[in-house]
Amino acid sequence: MTDGPFKHADLPNRWKKYGEDLESDAKTSSQRTERVESAILRDLCTKETRALVLEIDSYVKRLQQDIVPRVGIEAIFNKYPQTPQTDNLRRILTAHLVTASSVESAWQFGFDKWVRNEAFRTRNRMVEHCISARDRGDLKGVDFPKVVERNDDAFAGINYDKIRDRFFSGKGAAKFAMAKQDGLGDGPG
């Protein structure tokens, strides 16, 4: 059950800590879910992705019955670097613009589906890491079903409204957007 002949990149520390939480009996299901929500927000809330999403949101809010809003949204996407996440958002939003009754509803459905898709991909990736850990002997075979069940419970408990609200409000998202700095002069403004 792999994506091909290549190996996935190592998990970021936030996901490694979540993996440790899956094995720990000291963590509750709600604590694991909170860690998942926070990690997903951090994964989605890169500096470039956040700026792109906020610009699209601003465009949709000020839209005055633009004859072809898809062109305006495409222009916004073209201003930002293409990443797998932004490409996924572009594909989902474009599909919803064709089928939705309004641009606002297309944007809301598109954003929510984007977050859900990223969560689903991450959930599957965590299962693959559990399988690999079991195969390497890092995870005992008797603990494997418990860990996978806890992973499923944590992802099933995700509050997507909370992630959306934190993304757009900047609560918790601003520090994530500034987490990666390239040089000494790249500190907060």
pLDDT for 57-85, tens place per residue?
999 988 765 667 888 899 999 999 999 89
Is residue 46 included in any domain, yes or no? yes
pLDDT the model gives residue 9? 58
User: By C-alpha distance, which of 161, 162, 160, 143 is closest to 151?
Assistant: 143
Is residue 141 included in any domain, yes or no? yes
Is residue 8 included in any domain, yes or no? no
Q: Count Cβ atoms within 10 A of the Cβ of residue 106 and give its class: 0-12 exposed, 13-18 middle, 19 or more buried.
A: buried
Contact 118, 45 (CB under 8 A): no
pLDDT for 6 beyond 60: no
Decide which of 63 and 159 is more confident.
Answer: 159
The number of distinct structural domains making up the chain is: 1
Helices (H), strands (E): how many in the chain? 9, 0
Is residue 120 included in any domain, yes or no? yes
pLDDT tier for residue 189 given thresholds of 50, 70 and 90: very low
pLDDT for 120 beyond 70: yes
CA 31 from centroid of its chain's CA atoms: 18
Report pTM: 0.78
Range of the domain at 134: 28-178
pLDDT for 119 beyond 90: yes
